[in-house]
Amino acid sequence: MPTYKQNPKPDALYDLTITLSNPPGPFEVVEGWMQYDITNMDCLPPAEYFSGVQTTPISTTLPIKLDRTSSNTYQGRVALDGLIDGDYFGHGVCRFKAIGPAVRFKATGAEGETRFVASVDADDMATKTENTSYYWRGNYPRDEKIANYPDHGAPSPDKYVERLRGELFSITITTARTPQP
């Protein structure tokens, strides 16, 4: 698999602010990434002969450097044009589309802990500047039944049964277009 080239001078930059509200405890592991997908499959190597399945991954990610600015707030920056379109497989130019940034929080990083994940759709970043996801505090630091549970939360407290609504915390991702000099 080739290494995709990063855009050295991206134009479509967005600043992210990630805010936890009413967290259930400390989060020692905080990670972020920006996902990009290849939009034109004809640039990829041919599908596997026997099965006819395309085995070349169409998605790739770039890490987001997140800086802690307060006890419950982090900041980072992403580029919608973070990867350079190119002929990576010898079948024509592959075109990348930003899918969006995502963050993951874990209590300590120990095996089996719940992974609290929040994300924003890149197509919404210009018009919807804030995205909040709600999580049940009972899954911290780990779900009782599912090891490494990937908790993506819910878009509203109303998605939880009423008796749990007082036991929620939230992760909000705020996006702002970075002013160009």
Structure tokens at 145: 């039944």
Structure tokens at 138: 């009972």
30 closest CA partner among 80, 78, 65 = 65
Q: What is the dihedral of CA 2, 123, 71, 180, to 10 degrees?
A: 80
CA angle 36, 96, 177 (to 5 degrees): 65
Residue 79's H or E segment, with its range, is: strand 73-79
pLDDT digits (tens, 9 = 90+) for 4-31: 999 999 999 999 999 999 999 999 999 9
Q: What are the counts of helices (DSSP H) followed by strands (DSSP E) for the chain?
A: 0, 10
CA dist 18 and 107 (Å) reads 16
pLDDT digits (tens, 9 = 90+) for 56-100: 999 999 999 999 999 999 999 999 999 999 999 999 999 999 999
Instruction: Give the residue extent of every domain in the chain.
Output: 13-177
pLDDT digits (tens, 9 = 90+) for 98-107: 999 999 999 9
Centroid of chain to Cα 132: 13
CA dist 172 and 133 (Å) reads 6
Q: Is the peptide bond before 141 cis (omega within 30 degrees of 0)?
A: yes
**Whole-number pLDDT of residue 181:** 67
109 closest CA partner among 171, 28, 23 = 28
Helix, strand, or coil (residue 94): strand
CA dist 100 and 161 (Å) reads 29
155 closest CA partner among 126, 127, 122, 120 = 120
Beta bridge partners of 136: 168
Report yes or no: 97 and 39 within 8 Å, Cβ to Cβ: yes
Q: What percent of the chain has pLDDT over 70?
A: 99
